[in-house]
A and B are shown apart, each in its own frame.
Chain A
Amino acid sequence: ATYLGPLDSPDPPCRARQLYINFREVGWHNWIIAPRGFMANYCQGHCFFPTATKISSLNHAVMQSLMHSVAPATTPPPCCVPVKLSPISVLFYDNSDNVVLRHYEDMVVDECGCR
């Protein structure tokens, strides 16, 4: 489920947006014990100059956004991607009726930036 809040502008800057993954909606709630779901989030928005200088961007992305601003036909803008991620743990039954706890790295987007 994503929550499309009021657009902050016709061309919103790169940032994390809410995306809630609900295991019940994919029919997995019978064998996934916990959690029922988790906030995965996603990145969306532009990395134009000078916005790219105000958020978590690598120097190369700042240069690329500058080049895009002066010569858009030759250089695309940098990409809006996750730059900080968190893990989650999932408790579930496997197909041998064992109770399993599995740790997954990089499942939640905490922060986005230009790359």
Chain B
Amino acid sequence: TQPQPGTLSPQASALLQTLGLSPPPGPPPTRPVPSVMWRLFRRGPEATETQGSENEGPEMPQEPQPLPCHVEELGVPGNIVRHVLDGGASAPPEPALGSLCLEKPLFFNLSFLNPKEQLTLVRLELNFGAPADLAPAQDWELSLSHAQGPQLWGRPLHWHHREVLLSQTVPTLHDPLHFDMLALGRLGNSTFPQNLSLVLELLPGRDSDLPKGLCTKLGHSLEASLLVVTLDPQLCQPTSRKRR
């Protein structure tokens, strides 16, 4: 029996639930697939017969099959990798105060996390898109704070409700910056946060003479994302010793 359009047959629901798949409602998603996800997919098991796909990523050679439930490229155990975009990306960056070049709230919805999964990696990526007038090598003071308490559009209502997680000098913004959020300390109060709210602050290094408008450009060209790796132990039985 054909289910009503838009509804799932009981069989399909059962199958999706078994496979832990949750299809997006509505029209097909249009978000581009990040190259890191194509790269991780290509390193997947040989058995996947890719018949190609309209939005296939760059052709890459099939890599040898990794250990089951281990994400070799990231060096962590795991069988589920999620690429999560900053939910506040559309919110325009706030005009920075004083000598701050950029102050940007970052908000990541982590409600997909399932208590039976173990978090093995939460890697923040900041990609400033390297606008043309960005000097190739210039020190920047970058700090990441954990925004707590009540928020409005992902922005903490009270500035003192911030816990600085990291403050460091970065030599350039030309290449994507990666930060291991698990290593930086607890992610919210529970082991399974429903979301991750951060505030990114950027100060130009000493005696830097910034081109006019560069800070605004950096705020608009910034793409922040999280790579979240989890391990569902029930699906990753250690490979049983080959019998006989």
Nearest residue, chain A, Cβ from B56: A34
Contact pattern, A 94-115, Cβ under 8 Å of B = 1, otherwise 0: 1111111111110110100000
Known: A33-B55, A87-B68, A105-B237. A95 touches B47 (CB 8 A): no
At the interface, yes or no: A73 with Cβ under 8 Å from chain B? no
Contacting pair A98 B41 (CB below 8 A): no
Number of A positions contacting B (CB below 8 A): 35
At the interface, yes or no: A92 with Cβ under 8 Å from chain B? yes
Nearest residue, chain B, Cβ from A34: B53
Nearest residue, chain A, Cβ from B45: A87
Identify which of A8-16, A35-43, A63-71 touches chain B.
Answer: A35-43
Given the complex, which residues of B lie within 8 Å of A37, measured CB to CB? 49, 51
In the bound complex, CA of A34 to CA of B112 (Å):
21
Contacting pair B40 A101 (CB below 8 A): yes
Given the complex, which residues of A lie within 8 Å of B81, measured CB to CB? 100-102
Given the complex, which residues of B lie within 8 Å of A19, measured CB to CB? none
At the interface, yes or no: B185 with Cβ under 8 Å from chain A? no
Chain B nearest CB from A27 CB (Å) reads 8
Contacting pair A36 B51 (CB below 8 A): yes
Chain B nearest CB from A77 CB (Å) reads 20
Identify which of B25-33, B93-101, B124-132, B196-204 touches chain A.
Answer: B25-33
In the bound complex, CA of A33 to CA of B28 (Å):
10
In the bound complex, CA of A54 to CA of B136 (Å):
67
Give the interface size class of chain B.
35 or more
Nearest residue, chain A, Cβ from B69: A103
The dominant DSSP class at the B interface is loop
In the bound complex, CA of A89 to CA of B58 (Å):
17
Contacting pair B244 A33 (CB below 8 A): no
Contacting pair B69 A89 (CB below 8 A): no
Given the complex, which residues of A lie within 8 Å of B176, measured CB to CB? none
At the interface, yes or no: A86 with Cβ under 8 Å from chain B? yes
Nearest residue, chain A, Cβ from B78: A103
Which B86-141 residues have C-beta < 8 A from chain A?
109, 111-112
Known: A33-B53, A36-B51, A36-B52. A93 touches B29 (CB 8 A): yes
Contacting pair B47 A86 (CB below 8 A): yes
In the bound complex, CA of A89 to CA of B38 (Å):
11
Known: A94-B112, A103-B80. A34 touches B41 (CB 8 A): yes
Name the contact of B47 in the complex, choosing from A28, A91, A98, A107 (C-beta under 8 A).
Answer: A107
In the bound complex, CA of A50 to CA of B240 (Å):
28
A-B pairs, top 8 by smallest CB distance, nearest first, are: A89-B44, A30-B28, A86-B47, A36-B51, A103-B79, A108-B47, A35-B50, A93-B29
Residue pairs across A and B with Cβ atoms less than 8 A apart, 8 shown, are A34-B56, A88-B48, A94-B21, A96-B112, A102-B81, A104-B235, A105-B68, A108-B47
